Amino acid sequence: MKIGIFGGVFDPIHFGHLQGGEGARVSLGLDKVLFTPSHIPPHKPKSYASSKDRIAMVNIALEENQNFICLDIEAKREGISYTIDTAKEIKRLYGENEYYFIIGQDTIPELPTWKDYKTLILLVKFVAIKRSDFSYTDPDITIIEYPTLPVSSTMIRERIKQGLSIKYLVPDGVLKYIQKHGLYM
> Spelled out in words, what is the top-level CATH class assigned to the domain 2-149?
alpha beta
pLDDT in tens, 25-58: 999 999 999 999 998 888 777 789 999 999 999 9
The burial class, CB within 10 Å (0-12 / 13-18 / 19+), for 34 is buried
Q: Provide the pLDDT for residue 158.
A: 98
Domain positions in the chain are 2-149
The residue among 42, 53, 65 whose CA lies nearest residue 10 is 53
Q: Provide the pLDDT for residue 135.
A: 81
Q: What distance in Å separates the CA atoms of residue 102 and residue 162, rounded to the nearest whole number?
A: 31
Q: Provide the pLDDT for residue 17.
A: 96
% of the chain surpassing 90 pLDDT: 81
pLDDT in tens, 54-90: 999 999 999 999 999 999 999 888 789 899 999 999 9
State how far the alpha carbon of 165 is from the alpha carbons of 16, 42, 100, 158, 160, in Å. Answer: 16, 30, 34, 10, 7
**pTM, whole model, 2 decimals?**
0.94
- Helices 172-181 and 51-62 cross at an angle (nearest 10°) of 150
Pairing assessment for the beta strands 142-144 and 125-129 based on DSSP bridges: parallel
**DSSP class of residue 44?**
S
